Structure 1
Amino acid sequence: MSKRAKIILIIIAIGFIAALIWFGKKNKTSIVEYETETPFKTTIVKKTVATGKVTPLEEIEIKPQITGIIDKIMLLEGSKVKKGDLIATVRVVPNEQSLISAKGRVDNIRISLSNAEISYKRNKNLFDKGVISRQEFENVELTYNQAKQDLKNAQNDYMIIKKGSAGSGGSANTNIMAQMSGTILEIPVKEGDQVIQSNNFNAGTTIASIADMNKMIFEGKVDESEVGKLVSGSDIEVSIGAIEGKMFPAKLNFIAPKGTEESGAVQFKIKADVSLDDNYFIRAGYSANADIVLEKKDSVLAIKEALLKFDKKTEEPYVEVKTGEGTFEKRTLKLGTSDGVNVEVLDGISETDEIKIWNKVSKDDKNDGNN
């Protein structure tokens, strides 16, 4: 055999050995080491969050008793008032046609009264002389008295149209008074604005809204999937967006019997009395969230939800429990309440079992899920 042939054979042998080593490494299964965790006893609280706002429990709107123009506003928004305090005054602007008609009615009745008075005096003299009977005189006297009353009524109508009221009662209609003690939340009108009294066809112009800021409630909405778990009288906690790091205790007192559909989901209104803190001033309309406990379980066996896997065929939850060095067995679990981090385990494992902490998903893990 020539020297060249030997060299070729040596090269081929080296290549063959290298190929065997490469295939050996390629086919060699790497050993993956997994850490483990044991179940533990803990308290699991399932909560829901209702979004809403805080509003005064008692709030009223002040409306005028007459139609007119805002003459003067005495107070500003945010002012504290007592019942009966003057908020604003209204100046009556009479309708010219109605005013002229009322004035003409007064003049006509005054003429009739003058004529009735003349007739009354003449017949009284005749009655005193015995010329006419008492009944005839009383009929004349009645006509005279009715004419006087008609004039008084017509004059009152004229004054109501002109000034808004007749006699000393005018200020009761033109002065806008606070109907309750509290804080003025809003004065949506300004001096010179025209206002309309409340009637059967119009709600009237709101001159001011007043509320008792010492009694606040939370108004929010919860989803239909959770409203069935709420109980009236339950204690909840309210956090206000404008006040960081402070939770206000509240008591649930109302759950709407009828829901409303919003963006494809049915929402139910809830209300809760909020216990205020004197160190904080709560303004009406602050956005707020209510933490509501739906379910609470003390000292139950639990694991972290991150340890769970779900079978792709049965969709049942399972974990892998260590049985030996590097070996694990699949255990199907029966789960209970979850708080989003920990989940209660009702059946499938014991407190001493070591549960695999899943590493990054690999092909082998995917295949395990299909088995």
Structure 2
Amino acid sequence: MKKAIKIIFILVLIGSLGFLGFFVYQKTDNPTQTFETDSTFVTNIEKKTVATGSINPRKEIEIKSQVSGVVDKLFVEAGDNIKAGQLIAKIKIIPDVVALNNAEANLKEAVINFKNAEKELTRQKKLFHEKVISEFEYNQYLLTYNLNNQQVDAAENNLQLIKEGASKKSGAVSNLVRSTVSGMVLDVPVKEGNFVIETNTFNDGTTIASVANMNEMVFEGKVDEAEVGKLVEGMALKLTVGALDSVEFIANLEYISPKGKEEEGAIQFEVRAAITLQSDQFLRAGYSANADIVLERKNDVLAIKESNLFFEKKKVFVEVLIEGEKFERREIKTGISDGINIEVLSGLTSEDKVKQI
């Protein structure tokens, strides 16, 4: 009897374990799936492009020396605000040997010609008073005398300019470098003791200082060829400066390059925008900046998250919750997108919920 009860108990235990295993298998084979959903919503959408570039003064003037020599004294440094005509530097002139020799030779020749003309004029003056020559002939010798006198003055002035950079009569001192504009000194690339070359038709000369009006700043950047056709002069830009994260500047697009340049395998077009600065705002030259350019904007449109879309054969679909845990695939028409949200033109209502993907 006891043996029969034991056998029955073992059979019941085996049956229970079998039923439990079958139940677990069924649950594993057909797991219950749950999905998160997103509701449609009404929002404003802006389609933007971004131009990367830098902040620069509209006009930056390079002040150069009119003579060659050595920087004897500097009177300004970067960051100084100066006026037009203000003294920037003094150049100690080191005369060119060939030019100096030529100037000295020209002066000697001019002096010799003047002395000869003076002697001849004295002789001809005596003959004129004795009525040997006419007044016309005498005036010719007087003219030659005056011309030779002027040549001596010109030769002396030229020699003094070469030696000292100063004209004896005019008093013009070319070895003193003065600013041609008012503004802020951005850079002084030379130091006292540096040799500088004069600016002329054969070379640009050495820059003594760079000066710019820091109240007139522009954004200079580049836009990809895929977006440049959508830009129009006069568009408003929102500038974000890398060094000033919390400050946003407004600029007005004023130039779009008619010719693109290839950079890293892509065609880029240069753009320029005038920056509007408030009285208490200051931008340093060379700041890196990004410009948000609004290509299109729509207000109060029905939208969904763009990440919930999927595409088949150039058509756009979403999965719409219809009841309980059931979804149906539905084709929709879309409008503009800002990369996160996308406008829904048709196919959804404000009550619909779509499956998160």
- Pairwise same-fold verdict (TM > 0.5): yes
2:63 alignment counterpart: 62
Q: Hey, what's the Cα distance between the residues in 2 that align with 1:229 and 1:143?
A: 74
Q: Is 1:188 matched with 2:173?
A: no
Q: Is 1:127 matched with 2:128?
A: yes
Q: Hey, what's the Cα distance between the residues in 2 that align with 1:190 and 1:36?
A: 69
Structure 1: give runs of 5+ residues left out of the alignment.
Answer: 359-371
1:154 alignment counterpart: 155
Q: How does 1:22-37 map to 2 (within 5 A)?
A: 22-23=21-22, 25-27=24-26, 28-37=29-38
> Which 10-residue stretch deviates more, 271-280 or 209-218?
271-280
Q: Hey, what's the Cα distance between the residues in 2 that align with 1:346 and 1:276?
A: 40
> Which 10-residue stretch deviates more, 146-155 or 241-250?
146-155
2:355 alignment counterpart: 356
Query: Displacement of 1:50 after TM fit?
Result: 1.8
Q: Which runs of 4+ in 1 moved over 4 A?
A: 9-21
Query: Displacement of 1:184 after TM fit?
Result: 0.7
Question: Secondary structure, in 3 states, of the residue corresponding to 1:173?
Answer: coil
Deviations along 1:155-192, one digit per CA (max 9) or x if unpaired, are: 22222222224224454412111111111111111112
Q: Hey, what's the Cα distance between the residues in 1 that align with 2:321 and 2:108?
A: 110
CA contact (8 A) 1:45 1:297 kept: yes
CA RMSD of aligned residues (A): 2.5
Query: Displacement of 1:135 after TM fit?
Result: 4.2
CA contact (8 A) 1:163 1:170 kept: no
| Structure 1 pair 335–158 and aligned structure 2 pair: CA distance change class (3 A) | same
Q: Hey, what's the Cα distance between the residues in 1 that align with 2:340 and 2:299?
A: 16
Question: What amino acid sits opposite 1:212 in the alignment?
Answer: N
2:331 alignment counterpart: 332
Q: Hey, what's the Cα distance between the residues in 2 that align with 1:52 and 1:181?
A: 26
Question: What amino acid sits opposite 2:121 in the alignment?
Answer: Y
Question: What amino acid sits opposite 1:326 in the alignment?
Answer: E
2:199 alignment counterpart: 198
Q: Is 1:261 matched with 2:262?
A: yes
2:282 alignment counterpart: 281
1:90 alignment counterpart: 91
Query: Displacement of 1:62 after TM fit?
Result: 0.7
| Structure 1 pair 74–10 and aligned structure 2 pair: CA distance change class (3 A) | same
CA contact (8 A) 1:106 1:154 kept: yes
2:295 alignment counterpart: 294
CA contact (8 A) 2:167 2:173 kept: no
Count of aligned pairs between the two proteins: 352
Q: Hey, what's the Cα distance between the residues in 2 that align with 1:36 and 1:111?
A: 106
Query: Displacement of 1:303 after TM fit?
Result: 0.9
Deviations along 1:236-288, one digit per CA (max 9) or x if unpaired, are: 21122222311112211111111111111111111111122333432111112
Query: Displacement of 1:33 after TM fit?
Result: 2.6
Q: Hey, what's the Cα distance between the residues in 2 that align with 1:38 and 1:108?
A: 99
Question: Secondary structure, in 3 states, of the residue corresponding to 1:183?
Answer: strand
| Structure 1 pair 319–122 and aligned structure 2 pair: CA distance change class (3 A) | same
Question: What amino acid sits opposite 1:320 in the alignment?
Answer: E
CA contact (8 A) 2:165 2:173 kept: no
Question: What amino acid sits opposite 1:161 in the alignment?
Answer: I
Question: Secondary structure, in 3 states, of the residue corresponding to 2:162?
Answer: helix
Query: Displacement of 1:10 after TM fit?
Result: 9.0
> Which 10-residue stretch deviates more, 316-325 or 131-140?
131-140
Q: Is 1:109 matched with 2:118?
A: no
More strand as a share of residues:
2
CA contact (8 A) 1:309 1:318 kept: yes
2:237 alignment counterpart: 236
CA contact (8 A) 1:164 1:170 kept: no
Structure 2: give runs of 5+ residues left out of the alignment.
Answer: none
Percent of counterpart pairs with the same letter? Answer: 44
Question: What amino acid sits opposite 2:209 in the alignment?
Answer: A
Q: Hey, what's the Cα distance between the residues in 2 that align with 1:156 and 1:86?
A: 24
Question: Secondary structure, in 3 states, of the residue corresponding to 1:245?
Answer: strand
Query: Displacement of 1:206 after TM fit?
Result: 0.8
2:315 alignment counterpart: 316
1:246 alignment counterpart: 247
CA contact (8 A) 1:61 1:207 kept: yes
| Structure 1 pair 168–291 and aligned structure 2 pair: CA distance change class (3 A) | farther
